[in-house]
């Protein structure tokens, strides 16, 4: 299921800015007015098993934290209240909103290609070139692919990059992978469990996800 809102925006490069919103901050993903190019962004939502259940595409996104009021005793014994950052985030898509809690969410520039990973991908080297079968009492129960085998298969299909970025759900189920040469990351302090990864100048936000960045030379060994 995928709802698409595709448009032409004025953009060549992307602008990421922190916009104050109450006592929190909103991450705004939009485009600079430079040249007329088609630029869209995707929000991809996954459950804890790594299953993609909902996608949205738009010209701009905002990712906003929410606050919740907590009550308790303070050090002088009086009953008091305070605010904490909620696990619920509000996602704005072209000024329409989705509120999410608990799901793994990827926000990305559509020019970033996400590669499919077999659910059974294993970091151990396979005993055959393409993978190895696991069976119980002579009955096959699945084929497991080694990371090295999958990597070489991707390279033969034209994918190249000095770094591999593996994305998983919080429970460790594979979601997808990206390749690039210039890869950096930073934690978004004002958003719960959210990291911004820049891949060759293009943005990828991962919310409630595990990620691993690997130098490709390590895989080749």
3-state secondary structure of 120: coil
Average pLDDT over every residue of 29-45? 67
- pLDDT bracket for residue 26 (50, 70, 90): low
Residues near 202 by Cβ (< 8 Å), separated by ≥ 6?
A: 14, 108, 109, 111, 112
Rounded to the nearest 5 degrees, what angle is found at the Cα of 41, between the Cα atoms of 35 and 44? Answer: 170
Residues in the chain: 221
So what's the pLDDT on residue 180?
Answer: 93
Q: Which two tokens stand for residue 88?
A: 């619920």
For 144-202, the pLDDT digits (tens) are 557 777 888 888 888 888 899 999 998 888 899 999 999 999 987 767 788 999 999 99
**Domain parsing of the chain, residue ranges:** 2-115+159-220
- For the whole model, what pTM was predicted? 0.69
Euclidean distance between CA atoms 97 and 61, whole angstroms: 10
Euclidean distance between CA atoms 177 and 168, whole angstroms: 9
Q: Decide if 16 contacts 107 (C-beta within 8 A).
A: no
So what's the pLDDT on residue 112?
Answer: 92
Q: Which two tokens stand for residue 20?
A: 């104050």
Average pLDDT over every residue of 124-143? 47
Tell how many helices (H) and how many strands (E) occur in the chain: 2, 19
For 55-113, the pLDDT digits (tens) are 999 888 888 888 888 899 998 889 998 888 778 888 888 888 888 888 999 998 889 99
């Amino acid at each position: 299921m995928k709802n698409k809102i595709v448009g032409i925006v004025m953009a060549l490069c992307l602008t990421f800015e922190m916009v104050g919103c109450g006592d929190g901050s909103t991450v705004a993903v939009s485009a600079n007015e430079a040249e007329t190019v088609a630029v869209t962004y995707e929000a991809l939502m996954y459950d804890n098993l790594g299953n993609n259940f909902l996608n949205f595409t738009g010209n701009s996104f905002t990712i906003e934290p929410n606050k919740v009021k907590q009550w308790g005793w303070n050090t002088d014994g009086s009953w008091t209240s305070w605010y904490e950052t909620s696990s619920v985030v509000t996602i704005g898509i072209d000024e329409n909103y989705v509120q999410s809690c608990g799901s793994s969410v990827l926000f990305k520039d559509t020019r970033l290609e996400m590669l499919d990973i077999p659910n059974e991908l294993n970091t151990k080297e396979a005993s055959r070139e393409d993978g190895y079968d696991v069976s119980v009492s002579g009955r096959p129960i699945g084929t497991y692919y080694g990371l090295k085998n999958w990597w070489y298969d991707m390279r033969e299909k034209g994918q190249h990059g000095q770094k591999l970025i593996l994305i998983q759900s919080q429970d460790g189920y594979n979601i997808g992978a990206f390749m690039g040469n210039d890869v950096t990351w930073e934690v978004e302090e004002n958003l719960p469990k959210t990291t911004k990864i820049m891949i060759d100048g293009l943005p990828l936000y991962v919310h409630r996800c595990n990620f691993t960045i690997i130098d490709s030379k390590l895989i080749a060994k």
